[in-house]
Structure 1
């Protein structure tokens, strides 16, 4: 019996060694400890466009605009040309964890964060991104970006000189996939029914005073033949009085152009006379701009239902509105349906109004405003990156008239800062015959340029240098939407010297995380009431005092620290 005990001990020792080796081998070969398994990228080869062998699902939060009627018969927000393309090319089936209208999307995101009930992936803004990082609810996407971001996306993000990645990097980790958009998105042009100007024998208004006269003529002389004309549209419940440093792009139907023509930049952080940062909303120029808007509203020149109207685009589509402020891509919004209903609705875009010196002085945006985040522990974090790669590579193949680009899952905009200006110049050169379409083929970062130059003759009629609506073929509204955005929407930005103003910062400071929501709500409510006449103009002065006391002074000090770094 004596020999058995040493043998037993030897046997147990061998077993332990075998188990330890197996565990070590498992870890090396793909088995993972709990800490290693967390948020790790799939072990498949790092192909940015690789199709999964077996179908995987990704449940997303998605903004769905109920006023967007561009989907073809039978298509839905979950079953359309975009989702089918993703499934066909990547073997990724998209599901909806939640959907929300533009006015409710941020609230849905906030509820998901508060309840720690995130979809597998969703698009968020800078405020929500910071909240998600602090709550430790989202995946580290450093390896996802490094291994799976397509070369074209990396090229575009690199063109921001580090801004895009800086905005999503926390403690050295890339916690979200940033967008990078064309600079034109941040400039809000004045869109006017030129056919109404012609009918009333009016010139394009260059100053605010001229704009008021034209607006008055639209309202009182009813060029549409009906006594219901809106001279100048106002923001609806989904949009803002003006863009701000956190949401610096794509504000529809706000009054951005009027503020900037008066050198008022509410919502932006500016350099004060003493060289220190100051918040544009509390400056005297903003009070002056509010006074102008207040007078226009009281005279009936501005939409009397602004602020409570659910969709200002409806008044444009129905032909009731004569002018509005918006970005170059408005054909993708309300204008395509507007010309579908009335092919003579000659909407033209202008870099107006000008300031007292005759300069165009709009506010300018940051290049990065939206981010895709992935739920912590979702087993395929690289799937979100592949979906974005797929959009950039194939966007020119989609027809926006069969479903607007907003229906693409997890859509982020990727574009070089000068994408639209380059496109406009290229189209002009092809139409003039000074360049061939093939001259623009080898520019992959300009994702739609090849399609643009190849198809421009399908929609633009002669004379090529006249962009009035009668010189376009409206039979193919999908191609028209894109071409009109370039040759009409972007043209003023190419032809005008822009003396734009940037915000000193486009992100939040520490105190903003707790105070900004209430401060912004205070600002929005007071300014809207002043414009609509339910509060006196001098309510602005009390607003400034309240803003400073309720955290504004401390936030200003923090902004000064950030700017000085």
Structure 2
């Protein structure tokens, strides 16, 4: 009997050892975590997937796996971040994560795209975060993740369990607005019906474009730039592109799925309003409003032409002043790098609609990445703790837990580090494996900064980044850099800036389908988007007479359905 007991004991020990071999080797830290801002009693290793925007961003002696941002996290949380891999952000990063997911070698914590997320959930590779999120997510973190009517939390939830934290997108992300050369408007002597410089209706926008064309010689003589044209357009059709902006003005929503009254989904590029938008661009092509060979130019080459002062109107996002092509022509009024363009400036304003009904532009709300925890990681709450620190620190806002005027010590330390001379030109928050931002932050900052610029008594109400950008805008311009910073941030957050132009839209339109691509989407999307839709739209704009567009659009819709579109609609509509 004694021998049997010994054998059973040995067998149980052997089995327990075998089970241990299949689990994460990180022993974890056995703390009773009850605080949003917990600091572990012992160092806790967190193996992560880390993207790197530019290794040149790191000062001498620092690397993606050993830098002061990692040190700051360790100081406050005792979490020791350890990259399992580093790669450039974008498709190469998501491809690497997908490879690790396929071989069941995911890091403890990583970001992944929607397709990989669905696959990892189905394979049982991700930790259920439901309990730790409800218990430990700070009020600020919950507000961010549950914004947009719970969109992001719902996207990370499968069968009632929270498996991932999607990164919230700015509520004005990807919204197209007009950027108009103010000096061109003044050269032409153009005004709207009320005497202002911004087109209030689509008819006024067209009148402005044709005024630029009619006054081309005068514009070129006064600016010193030859080969100008009124409106920039390029071959890419996604994002806050000129193509998308013109389509939105016509009530068309290319490239996304829309919900019908019965709840079913349809593909926006097939709507009749698309034909109206294409017809308008066809007319612009024929009348010389567009660069003749725009269909051979990508966004980078057209951006370069903007820096050369070639066009009077382009359509882009609120952050366009950060782009060098805009900065290249402003001249900054004094000491500019382009003396002949020293009076150039830009007007930011919403795109008016063709039918007079309020435009509802496309908002790219779909998250690019989901943050997840390996099911074998013994401390899944650690990712939530890390996120709590980041949203209180990197966002530089008052703590919702403690009230207005209180800043968590991590926030103070992060501010000191990020604004130090060593890191002034580096976006050091990008050095972490988790990035979260408040989707409403830009609109709030623009409103408060504008109020302070118009009323000095409001300056005392500015906090964190609000005061930081206000100071850049109002700083005495002693150098070219000072003038550039003042102009850039005024044109983003000031009273005439891109953010407030976006907020003039009463509503936006989001993709009604935000899940991982269906099987048919994986098989057919490249053909449908690149070989059928983009080619058809480009030909309708560039090659056909107006009389041919009806027939060409009918053929496009038929080709889309026959080449996989019908299968996609069947899958997403169940």
Partner of 1:489: 498
1:372 counterpart SS class = strand
Show structure 1 runs of 5+ residues with no match. Answer: 1-8, 243-250, 441-448, 463-469
Where do residues 311-460 of structure 1 align in structure 2 (5 Å cutoff)?
313-317=303-307, 319-334=309-324, 338=328, 346-357=345-356, 359-366=358-365, 368-374=367-373, 377=376, 384-395=383-394, 396=396, 397=415, 398=418, 402-404=425-427, 407-416=430-439, 418-433=440-455, 436-437=458-459, 439=461, 449-453=463-467, 456-460=470-474
- Once the two structures are overlaid, the 10-residue window that deviates more, 370-379 or 262-271, is 370-379
Q: 1:124 to 1:476 in 2, by over 3 A?
A: farther
Query: Quick check: 73-82 or 535-544, which moved more?
Result: 73-82
Taking a change above 3 Å as real, the CA distance of residues 543 and 410 of structure 1, as seen in their structure-2 partners, is farther
Larger mean CA deviation between 386-395 and 79-88 belongs to 79-88
Normalised to the residue count of structure 2, the TM-score between the two structures is 0.71
2:559 is equivalent to residue 546 of structure 1: yes
Distance 2:121 2:228 in 1: 48
CA distance 1:132–1:286, shift in 2 (3 Å): farther
For 2:230 and 2:176, locate their aligned partners in 1 and report how far apart those are by CA, in whole Å: 17
Greater shift in the superposed pair: 167-176 or 534-543: 534-543
Deviation of 1:313 after TM superposition, in Å, equals 4.5
CA gap of 1:480–1:217, structure 2 versus 1, over 3 A, is same
How far has the Cα of 1:533 moved from its partner?
Answer: 3.2
Q: SS where residue 187 of structure 1 aligns?
A: coil
Residue 258 of structure 1 and its aligned partner are, at CA, apart by 0.5
* Cα pair distance change 1:360/1:513, threshold 3 Å: closer
Aligned to 2:207: 210
Question: Which segment is superposed worse, 254-263 or 41-50?
Answer: 41-50
Contact 1:192 1:324 in 2 (8 A): yes
Tell me if structure 2 keeps the 8 A contact 1:193–1:323: yes
**1:55 to 1:258, Cα distance in 2 relative to 1, 3 A:** same
Contact 2:473–2:487 (Cα < 8 Å) also in 1: yes
Q: 1:520 aligns with which of 529, 533, 544?
A: 529
Is the deviation greater in 192-201 or in 210-219?
210-219
Q: 8 Å contact 2:48–2:85 — kept in the other structure?
A: yes
Are the structure 2 counterparts of residues 376 and 405 from structure 1 closer, same or farther at C-alpha, using a change threshold of 3 Å?
same
- TM-superposed deviation, 1:282: 0.9
Q: Does the 8 A contact of 1:523 with 1:543 survive in 2?
A: yes
1:43 aligned to 12, 19, 30, which one?
30
Provide closer, same or farther for how the CA distance between residues 450 and 323 of structure 1 changes in structure 2, counting only shifts above 3 A.
Answer: same
Q: 1: distance between equivalents of 2:59 and 2:461?
A: 38
* TM-score normalised by length of structure 1: 0.72
Secondary structure in 2 aligned to 1:426?
Answer: helix
Which deviates more from structure 2 when the two are superposed, residues 423-432 or residues 380-389? Answer: 380-389
2:51 corresponds, among 58, 62, 81, to 62
C-alpha displacement of 1:501: 3.6
How far 1:259 moved relative to its partner?
0.5
Q: Using a 3 Å threshold, how does the CA distance of structure 1 residues 109 and 384 change in structure 2: closer, same or farther?
A: same
* 2:133 corresponds to 1:182: no
Measured in 2, the distance between the counterparts of 1:274 and 1:162 equals: 22
Contact persistence 1:318–1:341 (CA under 8 A): no
Indicate conservation of the 8 Å contact 2:234/2:302, yes or no.
yes
Q: What is the match of residue 258 of structure 2?
A: 270
The alpha carbon displacement at 1:241 in A equals: 0.9
Q: CA distance change for structure 1 residues 551 and 55 in 2, over 3 Å: closer, same or farther?
A: same
Between the aligned partners of 2:326 and 2:386, the Cα distance in structure 1 is 27
For the Cα contact (< 8 Å) 1:212–1:296, is it kept in 2? no
Distance 1:295 1:411, change over 3 A: farther
Tell me whether 153-162 or 451-460 shows the greater mean CA deviation: 451-460
Q: Of residues 514, 518, 542 in structure 2, which corresponds to 1:506?
A: 514
Task: Tell me which residue corresponds to 1:169.
Answer: 157
Kindly state the Cα deviation for residue 546 of structure 1 after the two structures are TM-superposed: 2.3
Alignment of 1:299-314 (within 5 A): 299=288, 301-302=290-291, 304=294, 308-310=298-300, 313-314=303-304
- Partners in 1 of 2:534 and 2:517 — Cα distance? 23
Q: Against the structure 1 CA distance between its residues 315 and 380, is the aligned structure 2 distance closer, same or farther, given a 3 Å change threshold? A: farther
Deviation at 1:167, TM superposition (A): 0.5
C-alpha deviation, 1:117, in angstroms? 6.4
For residues 230-249 of structure 1, the aligned pairs below 5 Å read 231-234=230-233, 240-242=236-238
Please give the alpha-carbon distance, in whole angstroms, between the structure 1 residues aligned to 2:61 and 2:241.
29
Do 1:183 and 1:367's aligned partners in 2 also have CA atoms closer than 8 Å?
A: no
8 A contact 2:474–2:486 mirrored in 1 = no
1:95-138 deviations in Å (ceiling 9; x for gaps): 47243365766566656656766566543443343244345554
CA distance in structure 2 between the aligned counterparts of 1:166 and 1:544, rounded to whole angstroms: 32
How many residue pairs get aligned? The number is 517
Q: Distance in 1 between matches of 2:163 and 2:263?
A: 34
Aligned CA-pair RMSD: 4.8
Matched, 1:533 2:522: no
Are 2:92 and 1:92 aligned? Answer: no
Structure 2 partner of 1:466: none
Whole-Å separation in 1 of the counterparts to 2:93 and 2:283: 33
1:215-268 superposed Cα distances (whole Å, 9 cap, x missing partner): 6469764464233546444457xxx513xxxxxxxx244422201111111123
